[in-house]
Chains A and B, each alone.
Chain A
Amino acid sequence: MSIAVQAAILTVVGLIVHLAGVALYFVAKRRGGLFLALLGGLWTLAMVIFYIYSTLGFYGPMGGLQQESAGPVTTTVVGFIILIIGVVIAVRLARRGGVK
């Protein structure tokens, strides 16, 4: 099975999970829907990254990143940005506290 078909299947899975979460949260008023929506949303975000990288030719022919492309540098930069976003969320959450 080609990687494009695999990606299409993964994209559909992400969208279904996201929409199921949104429906559960807003229609059925189930709190777990929020987490399903987040799970599906982040899954779909990963697929968006995949399609952007594919279009820009960042992936190597055997998997991994094409070393001659801007892929490795971009990934390192994006990785650090995501890491910083995570740390900022962690600091804000720690200030707010968890136990109510």
Chain B
Amino acid sequence: MSRGPTGLWALSIVIGLLFIALFIYIACDIVTKGLQNWSEWAISAPFIKLGRDFWFVVAGILWVIGTVLFFMEMSGYTLTRGFKVVKNRVKWDAVDVTVVALSAAIYGGSLAATGGLPIIPGFTWLRPGNSLAPLFGILFGVPGALGTAIGNFIADALTGYLSIGSIGGFIGNFIIAYIPYKLMTDHSFRTPRSIAEYYIWGAVISSVYCALYISWWLDALEPVIGLPRALVWGWFAPWVIFNNAIVTTTITPILGYILYPPIKMRGLFWKDRLA
């Protein structure tokens, strides 16, 4: 861990610790106020104060962008940093298909393994497996992100949360993996830039994006799915942000630091596998 000046290392570590402290504070706040009193949680305040209409519009824009990006990647195209549409260069050979299968199995299995431990029965469960979602995108690229999406869908079936809402969860989980894959410039977890970029894109932005994406879907399909809109924005959205970020800020960077070298050495890192 010597690449980069000491000042940059200090800055990246401070950024990481600030995000960890923020989500530990949110965890303490939720425990203190009680799981049932979601309207009093600090993380729910922005959603309740700004109101459903505001978040429906903001999340609607993000939903359209996320959905377009998902189908663009699935049809073999991607967006460059200069906003040009180009071929995404994923080979979709036997190795990529195997990566999809292993990501789906590991992510879905790890989510389901704790599926018997509900936090609020009928609503959500303990999900330490969430820590793997950004990691699969960072290490395996689009095939890893797709495996994450499938894994979440299988876990929904195994834990009793499968509905039309799971389509939103499918693409929402793809986005958690896709954002850090696409927006980090250094995926190694070994430089100050990599650590800082991970915390911004992989731990926080992707968690917020995923929560808003799924929440918009649940809100728009409220007559079909039946989850009240007040609950979608006051409880579900903040809870998804917290449930993702509490593990992606703490566990994922450690896993990434350990797993990057063997994945890279074996030629499985997505940049080394482009056509």
Residues on A facing B (Cβ under 8 Å): 1, 3, 6-7, 9-10, 31-32, 34-35, 38-39, 42-43, 45-47, 49-50, 53, 58-60, 62-67, 71-73, 75-76, 78-87, 89-90, 93-94, 96-99
| Docked CA distance A14–B269 (Å) | 29
| Docked CA distance A42–B118 (Å) | 25
> Which of chain B's residues 139-191 have a Cβ closer than 8 Å to chain A?
143, 146, 150, 153-164, 166-167
25 contacts between A and B (CB under 8 A): A1-B225, A6-B224, A34-B97, A35-B92, A35-B143, A35-B146, A46-B154, A49-B154, A50-B162, A53-B157, A63-B163, A64-B118, A64-B123, A64-B125, A64-B161, A72-B115, A75-B116, A79-B113, A80-B109, A80-B113, A81-B109, A86-B109, A89-B102, A94-B268, A99-B273
Query: Which chain B residues border A46 with CB–CB below 8 Å?
Result: 153-154, 156-157, 162
Query: Which chain B residues border A6 with CB–CB below 8 Å?
Result: 163-164, 224-225
- Residue of A with least CB distance to B75: A32
Q: Is there contact, CB below 8 Å, between A79 and B158?
A: yes
Q: How large is the interface on B (under 10, 10 to 19, 20 to 34, 35 or more residues)?
A: 35 or more
Known: A35-B146, A49-B157, A71-B116. 4 other contacts (CB 8 A): A35-B96, A60-B121, A86-B102, A89-B102
Given A39-B146, A62-B122, A65-B160; A82-B105 close (CB under 8 Å): yes
Q: Is there contact, CB below 8 Å, between B154 and A65?
A: no
Cβ contact of A65, chosen from B76, B95, B113, B115, cutoff 8 A: B115
> Is B43 an interface residue when CB atoms closer than 8 A count as contact?
no
Cβ contact of B116, chosen from A73, A85, A96, cutoff 8 A: A73
Query: Which chain B residues border A1 with CB–CB below 8 Å?
Result: 164, 223-225
Given A64-B122, A93-B98; A79-B160 close (CB under 8 Å): no
Residues on B facing A (Cβ under 8 Å): 76, 91-118, 121-123, 125, 143, 146, 150, 153-164, 166-167, 223-225, 262-263, 266-269, 272-273
Q: Is there contact, CB below 8 Å, between A75 and B105?
A: no
Q: Is there contact, CB below 8 Å, between B102 and A90?
A: yes
CB distance from A3 to the nearest CB of B (A): 6
Centre residue among B98, B99, B154 by max chain A CB count within 10 A:
B154
Centre residue among B91, B108, B112 by max chain A CB count within 10 A:
B112
| Docked CA distance A77–B92 (Å) | 32
Q: Is there contact, CB below 8 Å, between A82 and B102?
A: no
Q: Is there contact, CB below 8 Å, between A75 and B112?
A: yes
Given A34-B92, A50-B162; A79-B157 close (CB under 8 Å): no
| Docked CA distance A58–B223 (Å) | 25
